[in-house]
Amino acid sequence: MNSAKTALEAFKNYLESEKNYSRHTVLAYIRDVRSFLESALEEDKDFDSIDPGKVRTWLFKQAQKGIKTVTISRKLSSLKSFYTFLIREGITSNNPAHPFKLPKHRVTLPEYLNVDDVFCLIEAVQGDDVLSLRDRAIIELLYSSGLRVSELTGLNLDDCSLDLQVLRIRGKGKKERIVPFGQKAKEAIQTYLEKRHELLNKATNDSEDNEALFLNRFGKRLTQRSIQRLIKRLRIKSGVSSNCTPHTLRHSMASHLLEAGADLRAIQEMLGHESLQTTQRYTHLEISTLAKIYDKAHPRANSLNDVNDKIKRD
C-alpha cells in the first residue's frame, strides 16, 4: 500500500471511522494532503523520498499565495496527522512534517450583532406563505439555539421536541447534545410545520429528505448555501450594516447570553464546544466592551486605552 492514492483512501477511512470527523473536515484534510503530495512526490518515488525540505518549500509557496496563517496552520496539521497515520500503519517510518511547529496566528474576537440588529433581521421576514414561515423559523432557531449552519440543515423532524422545547443536535465528530430553544422559536417552528406539507408535496420521489425539518421549494433538504444566501438577503433588506452570516447569529446568541449573566459552562454545552477555552473568547469580547464603556464614561480612564490594546492583541 505505497501509492499516494491508496494511502489517501486509507487515511480518509481512518478520519471517518476512527476519528468520527464530519464530512466537511475530512474533505479539508484530504484536500490539504493531496495538495502537498502533488507538489512533493516525484514519479516512481515513495513516501520515504520526501524530506523536510519539500515540506518547507510547500509551506513557503502557501505563504507566497497570500494564504492566511490560520489556514497554513491547518494544512500543516493535516499533513502531520497524515504522516502519523502512515507510521502507525507501517507504510513509512519517515515524518518530514515533524520538525515544523504550527505557526502562531492572531486570535480574532468573534463578530456579533447587537440585540436591535438581530430583531431587525428577524422582522425582515414577512409573509404567511410556507417559504416565509420557514425562513422565519430558521432565523429564530439560529439565534435562539446558536446552531452551526450544518447542524441546522441536518435536523430531522424527530430531532425537534416542541413540547420540551429542545433539539437533538449532531455536532462535530458526530457528538450529540441537547439544546433548548425559546418560545418565539417554538411558535415560528410550529407555524411553519402547519404548512410544511406544501413543500413535501413537491418532492419528486420518496427519500430521507422527507424527514428533514427544513425543506427547499422542491421538497428537498435545505442546503447550507441556501441558508447563507437567506441571511445575506435579509441583511440587505433589514439594513443591518454588519457583515452578517449564519455563524454571526451563533456568536450573537452566545454574546447576549454572557451579557445577561449566563454561566460560561452552560454556554459551552449549548454551543457544543469541546474546550472551554473556545467559549472563553466571548469573555474577552465582553471585557473589551466593558473597557470601552468605562473609557468613555470615567473622567480618569485614559489608562484604559492600554487595556483595550492589550485585549485586541491577546
Task: Give the catalytic positions in this structure.
Answer: 148, 172, 247, 250, 273, 282
3-state secondary structure the chain: CCCHHHHHHHHHHHHHHCCCCCHHHHHHHHHHHHHHHHHHCCCCCCHHHCCHHHHHHHHHHHHHCCCCHHHHHHHHHHHHHHHHHHHHCCCCCCCCCCCCCCCCCCCCCCCCCCHHHHHHHHHCCCCCCHHHHHHHHHHHHHHHHCCCHHHHHCCEHHHEECCCCEEEEECHHHCEEEEECCHHHHHHHHHHHCCHHHHHCCCCCCCHHHHECCECCCCCECCHHHHHHHHHHHHHHHCCCCCCCHHHHHHHHHHHHHHCCCCHHHHHHHHCCCCHHHHCHHHHHHHHHHHHHHHHHCCCCCCHHHHHHHHHHC
From the number of C-beta atoms within 10 Å of its C-beta (0-12, 13-18, 19+), residue 92 rates as middle
Q: Are strands 176-180 and 166-170 parallel, antiparallel or unpaired?
A: antiparallel
Q: Which residues pair with 179 in a beta bridge?
A: 167
CB atoms within 10 A of CB 298: 11
CA distance 205 to 220: 10
Report the candidate in 147, 137, 110 with the shortest Cα–Cα distance to residue 250.
147
